[in-house]
Every structure is written in structure tokens, then in C-alpha cells.
Amino acid sequence: MAEIRSIGVVGGGQMGSGIAQLAAVNGFEVWLHDADSTALSNAHESISSRIQSIVSKGHLTKEKGAEALKNLRCTSNLEDFRSVDIVIEAIVESEEVKKKLFVRLDNIVKGSAILASNTSSISITRLASATSRPGQQVWSGQLAIAPFVLLELASVERIKLSGILVVIGMHFMNPPPVMKLVEIIRGASTSDDTFNATKFLAERLGKKIICSQDFSGFIVNRILMPMINEAFHALYTGVATKEDIDAGMKFGTNHPMGPLELADHIGLDVCLSIMKVLYAGLGDSKYAPCPLLVQYVDAGRLGRKKGIGVYQYSKM
């Protein structure tokens, strides 16, 4: 029975760096991977800054902050994942790219490791098909681990693993340390034991759990993204200004932010990718991406991360 001590995170972007930071703060040994050395350096700098901010606010002791930074290692070589107990991928929302990564990881990680995806829309069954063992059991009376359930500032307990590589979806909302919802998605071959262990651990971490069947977009994005897409249509056809569209949803339906502002926060490229998955997977024209959304992405207007999307933002 192996103990979960080491975590590999693939992707140095907003989600990946957040996972790495939170796992390190919780006492796990973390390997953060990104093929782009600049992105990796930026991720490490960002994580260090956020940990220092947590310490300065009194939410973490200086000693724990220093320990967290020591727990974090960055690499551009996936071979460094050979000894990790769990790999969590948080890369681009592309089925082809994720499958290629899973094929590589399947040949690298040890047999007891768990391979997990934070995909927000792509079929877990299809992702699992790229691996050699997509659904064998990992739980035999002991608790297994799954992606993102290591997050939040909960205390670390050494969790026993019995098993072999398993693929399961566990979709955390952005940002993972703040948002309480976890969406669990099982593929066609995901065992009951794997599913139950994942759900049980998420509940122990205080998460609100929703469970989705393996359909395009799952629950949250199946509902959210068409709303955002329709907001783009309203802007595209001149129904109202972007400010009034967002104000209508904020003050008329009590949403914390309007759909266009939310799209900028998520990333317009991510929104477009999910709409394409919905359109291809569900085959209904109502999921066709709005031409204005496509145009903005083509123009590089990706949202807050680029300084301009639907709105323009001051450069940091």
C-alpha cells in the first residue's frame, strides 16, 4: 500500500500553478511541469508571491510558508514524474493535446499512480481510452485520491493507495482554493470504488459535490457556456451594450458578475473551446459559437489574462 506523498501537476497556467501552490502549502511534495521555461518561471514567481501574501495576512505562519516553497519543485521534463503518486493535468482544453499527454504519462508514471483530469467539458471516457488501464479499481477498503481533492487549506493526512492507474474527472471551479463546488465525472469504465473514493475524499475536504454523467460540458458548463454565448449574440446583434448586458444579469438575476465579464475572467479562448466541444458532442445548432466570440479569440482578445477581451483592463 503506497502513501500519497508526491504530486505531479502538468501545466503552469492559472489552474496548474494554483494546484501546485495549494498542494505544497498542505505539505505535499510537488512537481510542477510546463514545457515552456518562461511559463514555468512565471508560475514559480506567482506561487511564491501568493504564498508570501497568505503569510503577510496571517493565514499561514512564516515557517509553513517556507516549508511550502521547499515542497515545490519545477521541471520541464516529464520523466521527473516517475516517482509521483498522483499526476493532475491542467493543460489546454483540447482533447487531442490531453490524449497525447496521457499516452506519455501512461508510459512514465508508476503502476500505483493515479492519472486525473481537470477538464471542464471533454469526455472522460475518450481521455481514458488513451491509457492502458482506464477503469480498474484502486480502492480496497482504503481511501484513494483523485485530482484537485488535495486542494484547499485542509490538513494533510497520509492516504493509502492500493492500486493502479485510473482516469476520473474532478472539475474544480476557478479559483480552486476559493470555490467550494466540485464536479465529479466518471467515464464509462470508471469503477464504483474509484468514484466513491473520490467523492468521499472531496466531502471530507468540505466540498459541495455534484456528480455528472460523461456528456459534453457535464453540468456547469452545459448550462453556463450557452448563457455566455447568448450574451455574445446579444452584443453581436446590437441588442444592448456590453455594460447593460452585464448589468441586466447582475442586478436582474443577482449574479455576482455579468456573463461577458465572467467570460473575460474565464478566458475567451476557453469559452470558445468549450462551445466547440458542446457543438460537436451534442450536435445541436444552439451550441454553435457566436461569430463575435470567434472573432475576439482570433484577434487575441482572450480576456483579463491578455489585458483585453470584451473589456479592456489595465496592465499589471
Residues designated catalytic: 120, 171, 183, 221
CA 300 vs CA 26, 120, 241, 273, 297: distances in Å? 36, 22, 21, 14, 5
Q: What Rg value do the Cα atoms of the chain yield, rounded?
A: 20
- Are 8 and 88 spatial neighbours (Cβ–Cβ below 8 Å)? yes
Q: How far apart are CA 285 and CA 297, in angstroms?
A: 20
Q: How far apart are CA 133 and CA 148, in angstroms?
A: 21
Question: Does residue 175 have a cis bond before it (omega within 30 degrees)?
Answer: yes
Phi, psi of 173, rounded to the nearest 5 degrees: -80, 160
- Are 154 and 205 spatial neighbours (Cβ–Cβ below 8 Å)? yes
Phi, psi of 126, rounded to the nearest 5 degrees: -70, -40
User: Could you give the residue ranges of the DSSP H alpha helices within the chain?
Assistant: 14-25, 37-56, 62-71, 95-106, 124-128, 192-204, 220-236, 242-253, 259-266, 268-282, 291-298
- Are 138 and 194 spatial neighbours (Cβ–Cβ below 8 Å)? yes
